[in-house]
Structure 1
């Protein structure tokens, strides 16, 4: 054991993400004996996940002390780490973020992290995030804020600008791209190592190597990709051909940030499948809580890196985290310091240390600069609750193809989100 800590998990009532986080914490032996405080405003969901936490804790032998509460502020006292997985009225508002711009002729893919949807996700999410970090500044100012909530770039950028709290955002997008590349290479994903840099959902794989030998796999990828199923990831591959590197993390996520992203499909998120998957998971959890066997995969790590970050921050040797969203400040030298970027990081007791892979190729940096500018304006619109700045963000966004549409959708989505939009600074 390397030590014990207090971990506060805000948004712990989420079944899908909550389960993954519990799996990771309880399978990380360095954290055994720590305190886990689960926080959620939904008492019923919180009770279910707390009961599940006790079951998994016992099954793993991790000896965590488990607490739960709907009161966030007192829960933060003494915390070393705060995990954020909060979201506001997720599916209902996400549907509006997608459908209302479409009504006004905006062609887009998901409506979550880019385009009008990304703007309004930022406008309604940042006030809640700032409520959390202001409480942290008062009650646990040395704690590390580990963010999993979207939109990651805008949250990390806003906190880099306006908070003293140490922050890292985490996303599994890099691993999604590694798996896609391994599929084309016809290799097990575990044998493929990737190193990427860029923005969240807009990283570029600067290196693709065979894990145990260091062999450069880019030549093999370029050869095999030419003959791979043309229906697989067409937008990603078009960018690969044009810019020479493989972008992360999927056509849908990339498409949110590009004027032509819709050309690879504009069906939007599959809300029906989401509901079906959640119902299936709910049934499985309820069966376990009724005395059924714990599924074997629930006794192992999920692949997310939250628990690894915590273990690294407690260990003198530190921990390499393949991909983290951080405030730039030179990590990617040809992007603005005032940007949120996704790069490899080293985490140790002194903090989160971005690993610079050097400048991006010039054309890629110029492509990303457009999105950096959109995100900078979106953050300012959110922290100031400014409809005027929100309109400016829309008018420079490459997804928005009409000033008239921008004004119309702004009015409608602003009204739908009015109760959540308020100044943060």
Structure 2
């Protein structure tokens, strides 16, 4: 592959992952001479991000060539890595995913990666991902697709089953889980190492150890957790006390997969905060590009996401350990279905991505997550076949859905809202 690469970033105007990706690319010394091609649907937003990227490149000395285009097919020509952070009308449609099930009596937490909301997120997102994959088959068939967009498990499952394109999903949830445990134990985050396996947003922390000695920290956690503030992550702690392991990256995320998940809170995503944050970030970017405001120092430091670590590990054959990635199972977790999408540690090097097996999940955890693997499989089939009939089956086996009448009613309503995006993919 050589020591430079063409990296195509689809969804470069994403406020959340866009800035993280730029920070990581610009703070890497291992990508000098490579090309970063930014792709976005809206020319104005793309122009702002591109100018910012060029300023960051100049100030950091990253030594990149920066390109930008709204033409995805042209951008992909000759790419080595394709990073996806795109979403379709994210907040507007996500609100429907959360509010309409609630209107029909479904109690749930986020409406994003689990429960009925995730089905409709899957139905509208997979056609876009398959468009990207088909374009990659034409323009860069050997490239690796690195996905940051939700619903991660369903995207990796679908592409693993129906596309020859190599792909991996990345999520920082494992670090969120680590931080919760560190907080309860009263330890600095960097003093706690975790190894986890499961599905995205519902990983089981198989090992929790002190970074400098390797000491098993579960006994300390068990002791500290008993007397800790009972209002802090109550659902996750109930799962811990039931199954003996910490599962997931916070109550709102793991709660999406559980019929009682709402007991940890059912306020949903804070859309007002998100939209305010996006406006503030866009204004800050405009001010920096116009030289009205200095660039924050941390914009030229790593964000903590692992996309660039994957890219440089493969590009330079670094044999790099990546704490967590979503990949096709293939037996890595023996007590989950072989074709499920699982989240496990991986090693990366010039030969690609190598999942690390931590063995079978604890029996109860495996059975809990096995239910979700089945829900995800039916949701993917509904999406790739544009089948309302299979979509209803996916709702009927989802443990979060507590009424057949509600399943039919919300399917009718949300199918119509998402109809412009639903189409056969295979």
TM-based fold match above 0.5:
yes
Shift in Å, 1:16: 2.5
The DSSP-based 3-state class of the residue aligned with 1:246 is coil
Q: How many angstroms apart in 1 are the aligned matches of 2:6 and 2:309?
A: 15
Match of 1:419 in 2: 420
1:150-229 equivalences under 5 Å are 150-229=150-229
Distance 1:56 1:16 in 2: 17
Question: Using the alignment, how far apart are the partners of 1:33 and 1:104 within structure 2?
Answer: 55
User: 1:200 & 1:66 partners in 2: Cα distance?
Assistant: 32
Q: Give, in angstroms, the shift of residue 199 of structure 1.
A: 0.1
Q: Is the 8 A contact 2:147 2:168 kept in 1?
A: yes
Counterpart position of 1:238 = 238
Q: Distance in 1 between matches of 2:151 and 2:298?
A: 29
Query: What CA distance in whole angstroms lies between the structure 1 residues aligned with 2:217 and 2:16?
Result: 34
Q: Distance in 1 between matches of 2:259 and 2:16?
A: 32
| Structure 1 position 28, deviation (Å) | 1.3
In structure 2, distance between residues paired with 1:26 and 1:33: 12
1:13-412 → structure 2 map (5 Å cutoff) = 13-291=13-291, 292-412=293-413
Deviations 1:184-231, CA, capped at 9 Å, x for gaps: 111110111100000000001000111111011110000001111111
Describe the superposition over 1:386-405 as per-residue Cα deviations: whole angstroms up to 9, x where unpaired: 00000000000001000000
Q: Which runs of 4+ in 1 moved over 3 A?
A: none
| Equivalent-residue separation in structure 2 for 1:28 and 1:317 (angstroms) | 14
Q: Deviations over 1:7-62 (max 9, x none)?
A: 00000011221111000011111112210000011111111111110111111100
**SS of residue paired to 1:212:** coil
Q: Distance in 2 between matches of 1:338 and 1:17?
A: 28
Secondary structure, in 3 states, of the residue corresponding to 2:257? coil
Superposed CA offset, 1:106-146 (max 9, x none): 00000111111100000000000000001111110100000
Deviates more, 1:376-385 or 1:277-286: 277-286
Please state how far the C-alpha of 1:277 moved relative to its aligned partner: 1.3
| Distance apart, 1:380 and its partner CA | 0.2
1:325 is paired with a residue of what secondary structure? strand
Contact 2:194-2:208 at 8 Å conserved across structures? yes
Is the CA contact 1:236–1:251 (under 8 Å) kept in the aligned structure 2? yes
Asked if structure 2 preserves the Cα contact closer than 8 Å seen for 1:16 and 1:281, the reply is no
Paired residues, number: 424
Q: Take 1:250 and 1:59, find their aligned partners in 2: how far apart are those partners?
A: 37
User: Structure 2: how far apart are the matches of 1:377 and 1:174?
Assistant: 26
Partners of 1:76 and 1:140 within 8 A in 2: yes
Task: Judge conservation of contact 2:312–2:318 (CA < 8 Å) in 1.
Answer: no
Unpaired runs of at least 5, structure 2: none
Task: State the alpha-carbon separation in 1 of the partners of residues 301 and 33 from structure 2.
Answer: 18
Alpha-carbon contact 2:328-2:342 (below 8 Å) kept: yes
More divergent stretch after superposition (269-278 vs 239-248): 269-278
Q: Is contact 2:31-2:63 (8 Å) kept?
A: no
Q: Give the whole-Å Cα distance in 1 for the aligned partners of 2:282 and 2:318.
A: 39
Maintained 8 Å contact 2:13/2:45 = yes
Helix, strand or coil: the match of 2:324?
strand
Would the aligned equivalents of 2:153 and 2:326 in 1 still touch at CA under 8 Å? Answer: yes
SS of match in other structure, 2:128: helix
Once residues 391 and 43 of structure 1 are traced to their aligned partners in structure 2, the CA distance between those partners, rounded to angstroms, is 38
C-alpha separation between the residues in 2 aligned to 1:260 and 1:163? 35
Any gaps of 5 or more consecutive residues in structure 1?
A: none
